[in-house]
Structure 1
Amino acid sequence: MLLCAIAAFALMFAEDRFSRMEDVRAQLSTVVAPIQWLVSVPSDVLTWTSLALSDQRELVEENRQLREQLLTLSHRVQRMANLTAENVRLRELLNAARHDDVPYITAELLALDSDPFTHQMVVDRGRRDGAYIGQPVMDASGLVGQVTAVSAYSSRVLMLADASHALPVQVNRNGLRFIVQGTGRYDALDVLHVPDTADIREGDLLTTSGLAGRFPIGYPVARVFEVKHDPGQPFAQVTARPVAQLERSRHFLLLFPPPPSEPRDDPSLWDESFSVIEPPLPGRDS
């Protein structure tokens, strides 16, 4: 136990001091991936054998295909509520920008973190599939979290419920923007710094605002279920419940949102109305 404790402290110190430890962790995750698959082999073999001895195998395969199809269709339908509200605000604009579909790949749950103080999981998509750190992860209902570590064959995902996770959101009904942070519980998220006079109500849908540049705009995150007003306090206490099935989902989508556009420093954008008027030099007629 003492040797293990010393080794653990040494690894934490090395990870804090040396940037190369992240590459080492990724390599170790690649080494551990076959072990994770090997552990799941007995249950997979037993399940397959029981299905092979019954006449339900075809029904199970059909159910799997329908589940994947439902996941794909849910990805396209999730943004309908946000697009409807956005259409109300922008229908008078003739040149409103069109939102393109975001590319994605499907992933399946491999393991859950056994630490009760963190909410992380491992999925079966890695660097070889195009996964990257910071990639948004969703299930059929809404946003689940983001990728925090990537190996060749798997990725670690930090879920919304983790107390260290926060992201910018907006109220779908009126466009008010806030920050949502995890509480360490699967069924509750804190909406931070909500003014006591803000127009936010129970039942409001919170969607990604896209301001951080990491999550695409318009995907459902949580739904407000409690708003407490404390007289004399400048901020209200607002709690929301994630719309994603964090405790039950096994199939996910890894999104590939386009990179945020950067402002261009184009001299042609300047016109004559912004020309600089130079003062007359001394000794010359102005």
Structure 2
Amino acid sequence: MALESLDRSPPPFFRVGFAPLTKLFFFSALSVLLMFGDKQLQFTKPIRAGLSTLIMPVQWLVLQPGQVASSVGDYFQNLDQAQKDLQALQLKQLQQSARAQQVEQLLIENQNLRQLLDLKNTVATPSQVAEILFDVPDPYNQRIVIDKGQTKEVVLGSPVIDAGGVIGQVTRVYPLTAEVTLLTDRDQSIPVMNSRTGARNISSGNIMSGTPLIELKFVPASADVKEGDLLTTSGIDGVYPAGLQVARISHIERRVDISFARIHATPLAELKGRHVLVLQPTGIQAASKGKAP
């Protein structure tokens, strides 16, 4: 084959059209013309509206992950804030509840102190107000500890009462505190008198039944005793002033085969407040009067 017959034109891939500079000027002018035409004639507005409508689902799908993440973040943030607010409200409620309980306790103590002051004015025996510190942790003994002792001239045998009646008797004295044995203690006895009949007896504590009571011992089965009778201090022991309320008869057992009746009484002392009244034993008062010139 002769060389002259060969096609020496470049293949289509390597063919060179317009010069690059020419293309640049052409497309630049076309762009300016289109922008000017769109500015004046608004002929691309329907196209843009159609394209915007077509790509709206795509935009919505693209935005959903971000919105979901933002919603989840807002949810946990609001949840954390709600938990903090709930904890703050619960703490505030507890504080207000504690304050309300303290106010109620103060009102009860105030009422108890007023009753003790009224009782102190009616009782001729020298007395002083004391505060109950705690109960002695002994299941077999009924005792409390008060905040008055030897420094406040509290002596052994001092009667202790509240607005309801006799609580017990001071059995141990320390410099700053004293121990009071309650009437319901099994080792505590007190002479009492039936205010209806005038009969005198000795009462002892009785906690064997589980309920703190006092019991009248060696009372004849035929004795005139009724449920509801009021027992007061007889004043013959030189310790308790006469006429202090002690208890009220609650249960009587009479049996034909036993000479004595079993009589139980419920103490009238309330022991609801924190304050009690400590009296001076009547024997000390009599001795001090006997020494007076």
1:119 maps onto 2:121 in alignment: no
1:67 maps onto 2:90 in alignment: no
Q: Unaligned 5+ residue runs, structure 1?
A: 1-49, 78-99, 263-286
SS at match of 1:164: coil
Q: Which one of 256, 261, 270 corresponds to residue 280 of structure 2?
A: 256
SS at match of 1:72: helix
Asked whether the 8 Å contact 1:136–1:215 carries over to 2, the reply is yes
TM-fit CA distance, 1:211: 1.3
Superposed, 1:121-136 pairs within 5 Å as 121-136=144-159
Amino acid at match of 2:217: L
Between Structure 1 and Structure 2, the one with more helix by share is 2
Asked whether the 8 Å contact 1:161–1:186 carries over to 2, the reply is no
Q: Unaligned 5+ residue runs, structure 2?
A: 1-94, 288-293
Amino acid at match of 1:236: A
Q: Which one of 158, 166, 176 corresponds to residue 199 of structure 2?
A: 176
Match of 1:215 in 2: 240
Amino acid at match of 1:143: V
Match of 1:243 in 2: 268
1:199 maps onto 2:224 in alignment: yes
Larger Rg: 2
Task: Give distance in 1, aligned partners of 2:100 and 2:254.
Answer: 59
TM-fit CA distance, 1:65: 4.1
Displaced runs of 4+ in structure 1, greater than 3 A?
A: 53-67, 74-77
State the number of aligned residues.
189
TM-fit CA distance, 1:63: 6.3
Distance 1:121 1:202, change over 3 A: same
Asked whether the 8 Å contact 1:75–1:140 carries over to 2, the reply is no
Distance 1:237 1:76, change over 3 A: farther
CA offsets 1:199-247 (integer angstroms, 9 cap, x no match): 110000001111111111110111001111101321111111111124x
Q: Which one of 257, 260, 270 corresponds to residue 232 of structure 1?
A: 257
TM-score by length of 1: 0.60
Distance 1:111 1:234, change over 3 A: same
Distance 1:233 1:186, change over 3 A: closer
Task: Give distance in 1, aligned partners of 2:121 and 2:219.
Answer: 30
Amino acid at match of 2:165: G
CA offsets 1:155-178 (integer angstroms, 9 cap, x no match): 011111111111111101111011
Asked whether the 8 Å contact 1:112–1:122 carries over to 2, the reply is yes
1:101 maps onto 2:124 in alignment: yes
1:144 maps onto 2:161 in alignment: no
Asked whether the 8 Å contact 2:150–2:177 carries over to 1, the reply is yes
Q: Give identity over the alignment, percent.
A: 33
TM-score by length of 2: 0.58
Distance 1:171 1:156, change over 3 A: same
